[in-house]
Amino acid sequence: MQTGHQPQALLTMLEADGSRSRAHALRPEVLQQQAAAMGLPLIMPSVTWEGYRSVYVQALSEAKAQGAEALISGDIDLQAHRDWLEEVGEEVGLNVLFPLWEDTHSALLEEFHAVGFTTHIIAVKLGVLDESWLGRKLDVQAMHELEAIGVDVCGEGGEFHTFVTDGPLFSHPLNIRALGSFAGE
């Protein structure tokens, strides 16, 4: 939004069986609640790793057909992911924007909360963080605790994943709860 763009749709890729999102292991109904709270359509194709690129390109084409002019990524400093997104964006004819690129991680998290977003830790890399972090709000206190143990406060190295449950784009906060945990890749 600060870049002058308004979200047109949300995109997430599901496991081949459609049961969970590939990156965060979220159930589709949770993602649908988030999209509804934001008043946005949700594009959620199911895919295997082997077909990932072609299905992703197809999903971006669908977003473009719905009026999207750009793909906006929250990546901060993962160059390989940036390169990949720029390739698929170019293939579809979408600009690819990285508004957070190379910003200071702690400053990003502080600003994220200052403007009113709420996010919870929904996945952790065992051996880096333990299960006590699951469900915790990623707030300034958690940020300081993560810094103290040498963990990136944005989880950019895969230490953890988060899910946004409230913020300026939401009509209402999401009330979600964990139904359990599982080990995955």
Residue 183 located in a structural domain:
no
Per residue in 135-183, pLDDT (tens digit) is 899 999 999 999 999 999 999 999 999 999 999 999 999 987 765 555 4
Evaluate if residue 84 carries a pLDDT over 60.
Answer: yes
Residue 30 located in a structural domain:
yes
Instruction: Report the 10 Å Cβ neighbour count for 125.
Output: 13
Looking at the structure, tell me whether residues 94 and 128 fall in a common domain. Answer: no
* Structure letter (DSSP) for residue 132: G
Looking at the structure, tell me whether residues 15 and 95 fall in a common domain. Answer: yes
Q: How far apart are the first and last CA of the chain?
A: 33
pTM score of the predicted model: 0.87
Name the residue range of residue 109's domain.
Answer: 104-174
Residue 66 located in a structural domain:
yes
Q: How would you classify the pairing of strands 160-166 and 118-124? A: antiparallel
CB 60 within 8 Å of CB 94: yes
CATH label of the domain that carries residue 6: 3.40.50.620
Report the domain count for the chain: 2
